Structures are given as C-alpha cells and as structure tokens.
Structure 1
Amino acid sequence: MALKILASCINCDMCEPECPNQAIALGEEVYEIDPARCTECLGHYDEPTCVKVCPIDCVVPDPEHEETEETLVKKFELLYQLN
C-alpha cells in the first residue's frame, strides 16, 4: 500500500530527499506522497526510508491506496522500465 503523510507533519525536510522514487513533494501545507510513485521503497531498501527518517512518525499506510507486494513490484518495474 502506498504511504501518506499526516497533517501533523512539521515540514522538517527529512523525507523528500530520501525518497528513491521521487514520490514526495511539498504540498500546500505539508509534504505529500504521490501514490502512483510510492513503492514503500520496495526494490531499493528493506523498509520505507520516509518512515525511517521521520522524527515525529507522521508517515503511515494510506488505506485509500491498498496494494499487494506484487502490485508494488509491478509499479517499481514500470517506474524503472524493468520487465
């Protein structure tokens, strides 16, 4: 499942540069994660780096974008043109 950043985000700028898929960008008020690009770091790291670096634990699973591991793998392959 894609991740999302809660409104409690303090805009510390830790997550955006760590995202290997360039899925994180500053929104109108807080950072946002593009669910079309978020693979939970599958294919890059063992765990999502945005979750790991967030000092206030405001990165959580997005229930509106539930995905299986197979779906995340396919998304990763499409993002990097690996077939």
Structure 2
Amino acid sequence: MVKLSVCVGSSCHLRGAYDIIKIFESLIKQYKLEDKIKLTAEFCCGNCTQPVSVKIDQNGPFSVTRENAGEFFKKYFLEV
C-alpha cells in the first residue's frame, strides 16, 4: 500500500491542505483505490514557503495546489 501524506501544518493549512485532502479522498474513491492508497495527514514537511506539501511514501515533498491536485494525483497514481 502506498502512503500519500498531506501536510497540515500552519502554512499548508492556510494554503488549502484540507481542500487537497478532500480532493484526494474523492479521487481515491472515484478510482476505487482504497486498498492501494493510504491517505494520511502529516505535520510540517519543512517546505513552508511553497504550496501544500505532499509526500508519496518517503518521496517528496511535492508542492500541490487546489488547481493542480487532480493532475498530480493522476500523474502519480493513474499513469503508472
């Protein structure tokens, strides 16, 4: 199972971390990936000057916005 972590520290929270979590939850359900992706929250990835930080297992942090969250998800989980 792949661990998809979204930072919910202060900076990421203000930049829309919870919206990104909801987008990822919806996409995981839409593509029936509940048994393949574990979505978690993480406190501070140390990337506070960028958009919301996301990690895939120990890779990242990647910077994700509300606008590119779907594209990010599709790139890393559907185009593999």
Q: Same fold (TM over 0.5)?
A: no
Normalising by structure 1, we get a TM-score of 0.29
Larger-Rg structure: 1
The structure whose residues are more often helix, as a share, is 2
The structure whose residues are more often strand, as a share, is 2
Normalising by structure 2, we get a TM-score of 0.30
